[in-house]
Structures are given as C-alpha cells and as structure tokens.
Structure 1
Amino acid sequence: MKPIIGITPDVEKDDKHFLRNDYMQAIIRAGGLPFIIPIGDEADVAQIVGLLDGLLLTGGNDINPILFNEEPHTHLGEVSPSRDLFELELARQMLAVDKPILGICRGLQLLNVAVGGTLYQDIQQQYKGPILQHLQKAPDAHPSHFVQLAKGSLLAKIAGSERIQVNSFHHQALKDVPTVFNISGIASDGIIEAVESVDKQFVLGVQWHPELLASNGDVVSRRIFEEFVGVCVNKNS
C-alpha cells in the first residue's frame, strides 16, 4: 500500500482552491498517493490526521501577522485567514502525533509560526543588510541562488552536499526560530532557507520550491520527496 500524503491547496479570496500539478507529480514519482485536503472545519482536523501518513504544506499567500503577534506591515501581501487557521491546527496535530511533514515556501513559514516562531513580513523592508533576489525573474525551474546546508543535517545528507542551488519565490522569511527546529539552510545574505525538527522522525521545511525543480529533473529535489515519502509508512501496509 502506498503511503497517503495529504497536500494543502492554495485558497483565493472567493475560497476557490487550486494546486499546481508539480506538487502531486513529485509525490507520485516518490511512491506516494497524493490527496488534496480542502480547507474546512478545524474540528475535523483530528480525523484528517488519522487518515494521513504524511503532510505536504505548500506555497501560497502571506501568513496573517496577527498569528505571531504583529500588525500588518504596509508591504504585507494577500492573506488567507481560513487557510492559516486550518493549516496551523493541521500542522500542530501532525507534530503532536509525530507524523512526517514537508513544508515548502509558505509551508516552511507556517511550520515556524505553528511552533511559536515569527516572520519578516517583507524582507525588502524589514531585513537588515543587502539581500539577494528572492523573488526571481528567471523561469520557475531555474536554480537562481545558492544555499549553504548545515553539516550533518538531514538536508545535507539528502543532498549529499553542503551547498546546493535553489529557486526562489518569496518576500516573507523566517525571523525568530524556536529551539524545536534546527536551522539547516541559509542563503549567502543570511536569509533562513531551511529548518528541520530536532526530535521528530521527519519534519523539514524549505523556502524554495523543490517540486518545480524536481519536475525539471533536479536530483536533490527528487531525493527530498523520496526521503519524505519513504518515511511515511502506510498504517495498512
């Protein structure tokens, strides 16, 4: 039996759900069975968690700063309040039962907020010091900058290297990271690019989009999904 991987979709203002095919194909290639999780009632999260073998938190809109005790910066983008609350509960319950989680871009940021961390609402305005182009103008599947990986980290082991190239589509980023996570990837400008759990079987968040790189044949990106799906053991197998 293939492990069941729940994938969270993006949500627009009119509550229309949508999800790029690249996420689903990355899970399928890695041997998982993807299911899209509609944003619904938080009371149903426990039942959803019981059905899942793993969770993929995807990219999308900005996260409501009220959730980390800040008011909106003038450069804050569009937020999805219903998605924020539902995904936070989903992430927290998955963490509580130690089921594998992979967070991508917004998904990384959501994980950090779920454990009490904070974000830069806009790195251009709030991050001190010069930064790279984190909202790349190159094609989606083009690696646009380097990330230095922590020696001995899960991500470095997956990559087989301590330096990788990634793509980049964000203007928010992690600021304060709680001690339940280790920072495992940093860009040359100091922006945090990856975190992983210190005590869970598999919780990894990355600021880039490996699903797009994997669609273009990137080996490291495919390994990330293979490692993730590989630890999502199906309870019925």
Structure 2
Amino acid sequence: MKPIIGITSNIKDEKLLTTGLSNIHAIVKAGGVPVVLPNISDEAAIERMLESIDGLLVTGGGDADPTLYGEEPLPQLGEVCPERDQFELLLITGVLKKNKPVLGICRGCQMINVAAGGDLFQDIYSQHQTQLLQHTQKAPRSHTSHYVDILENSLLHNIVQSSRFKVNSYHHQAVRSVAEGFEITARSSDGIIEAYESKKHRFVVGVQWHPENLVRSNDIYSQKLFNALVQACHN
C-alpha cells in the first residue's frame, strides 16, 4: 500500500489554509499519498493525526518565533505564525517520539531542529560577520543558484549519490546549532548549514533549500529525497 504522508500548511490572513501544490505533486510522484494537515491545538486530535500518517513532510513558510529557542526578536525577524509554530512543535515532537520518517524543507528544516532542542539564526545577514552568498535568490524557484557540499557516508550522501550539487535558495533564517543527536551533512561555500540528519532516528532529514520546486524540472537530487522519504515509510 502507498504510505500516507502528512504535509504541514500555512495560515494565510488568519482564515485560509495553504500549501504549495509542488509539495503535493512531489509526494505523489514519489509514490506517496499526500494529506494536508491543518494547524490545530487539540493534542488528542494531533495524536490521532500521528497515528494516521506513515511519514511527515514539514514544509517551508515564514519565520519561527525565536522565543521558542530562548531568544527575543531581532529587528530583522520576519512574519511569525504562533498557531503554526505551536502545532508543528507538537506534531514534530510526536513524530520523533514515534520514530516515523520525516523530511523538513527550509522552515521545516528549522522547526524540526528547534523541536529537538537546537536553535537558529534569526537573520543570517545581520548575524554573520563575513560576507554571505545570496540565500534569497531573485531567480525563479525552479532555478538552482548555489552549490552545497555533502558529507560523505551520510544518509543524505547515500540518498543523492553525490558530494556536491546546486540547489535553490529562499531563506534568511538558518540552523545555527543542531540538536543533540543530529549531524550536519551539508553546507554552502559560505558555511551556512544546508542539511542535517538524525543519528538516533530511522529517517529524519532537514534541508534548507526547496527540493519540491525542483522536482517538476526533473532535478534528480530532489526526486531522490522524496523517494527516500516514501521508501523509509515502507521499512
């Protein structure tokens, strides 16, 4: 049977639930059944969600509230959504506890790290002393704008079968310190953490780029990521 993959969602204008169709198409193409999850606070309902899904895709979106990792907001902090933050913390904590496969994209990568005890740069440009690459590209989302270097012998390396490839980039926040039990598996040339994975769960991978926007352009590395998530649900 095809595994059911829960997909997290945004709240727009406090009245609309949204997620990019690219997230849905990527899961379908990988052989999974996508189910979009609403941002709710009822813990019993969240537990039922966790029982119903085989894996989780934590999608991109706005900024994470820095008070979640013990900081107060800097002036460069963007829009936050408290309802989404609280829902995702409960959801991610539950999926990690149940050891179900999870892939985090951009904000999703950041939120998994926060839920597991790591922290973030609220704004990489103002919190770095050295010059950075353009991490909020002006090109279309289907364009790969900079390279990432992959740690050999990591799960990510085994998935993509490459030590270096190009990715797209749409973020100003990033993982600063990975949570205990997580390992950094990719960086950009300026040192920004681009991917990590858990060494104590069967499949937890976070990537800072947006592979869902590259699947339709037949990017092999992106497709391999979603294939790996779905395949992990069968194991």
TM-score of the pair, normalised by structure 2: 0.97
Residue in structure 1 matched with residue 12 of structure 2 by the alignment: 12
Q: Distance in 2 between matches of 1:212 and 1:206?
A: 13
Q: Distance in 2 between matches of 1:185 and 1:15?
A: 37
Q: Distance in 1 between matches of 2:16 and 2:126?
A: 30
Residue in structure 2 matched with residue 34 of structure 1 by the alignment: 34
Residue in structure 2 matched with residue 182 of structure 1 by the alignment: 183
Q: Distance in 2 between matches of 1:121 and 1:106?
A: 12
For the residue of structure 1 that corresponds to 2:131, the secondary structure is: coil
Give the paired residue count: 234
Residue in structure 2 matched with residue 57 of structure 1 by the alignment: 58
Q: Matched residues, percent identical?
A: 47
2:232 is aligned with 1:231: yes
1:30-67 alpha-carbon deviations (Å, 9 max, x no partner): 00000000111241211110001000000001000010
Q: Which amino acid aligns with 1:224?
A: L
TM-aligned CA deviation for residue 13 of structure 1: 4.0
2:23 is aligned with 1:23: yes
Q: Distance in 2 between matches of 1:197 and 1:175?
A: 16
Q: Which amino acid aligns with 2:213?
A: L
Larger CA deviation: 29-38 vs 177-186: 177-186
Q: Where does 1:1-237 land on structure 2 (aligned, <5 Å)?
A: 1-43=1-43, 44-233=45-234
Q: Distance in 1 between matches of 2:125 and 2:15?
A: 29
C-alpha root-mean-square deviation of aligned residues, in Å? 1.1
Q: Distance in 2 between matches of 1:69 and 1:202?
A: 27
Q: Which amino acid aligns with 2:229?
A: F
Q: Which amino acid aligns with 2:227?
A: E
Contact 1:120–1:127 (8 Å) recurs in 2: no
Larger CA deviation: 225-234 vs 127-136: 225-234
TM-aligned CA deviation for residue 199 of structure 1: 1.6
Q: Distance in 2 between matches of 1:116 and 1:153?
A: 21
For the residue of structure 2 that corresponds to 1:222, the secondary structure is: helix
TM-score of the pair, normalised by structure 1: 0.96
Structure 1 residue ranges (4+ consecutive) displaced by more than 6 angstroms after TM superposition: none
Q: Any unmatched runs of 5+ in structure 1?
A: none
Larger CA deviation: 38-47 vs 179-188: 38-47
Contact 2:114–2:179 (8 Å) recurs in 1: no
Contact 2:197–2:206 (8 Å) recurs in 1: yes
Q: Distance in 1 between matches of 2:52 and 2:129?
A: 43
Q: Distance in 2 between matches of 1:199 and 1:116?
A: 14
Contact 2:41–2:86 (8 Å) recurs in 1: no
Q: Distance in 2 between matches of 1:108 and 1:178?
A: 12
For the residue of structure 1 that corresponds to 2:214, the secondary structure is: helix
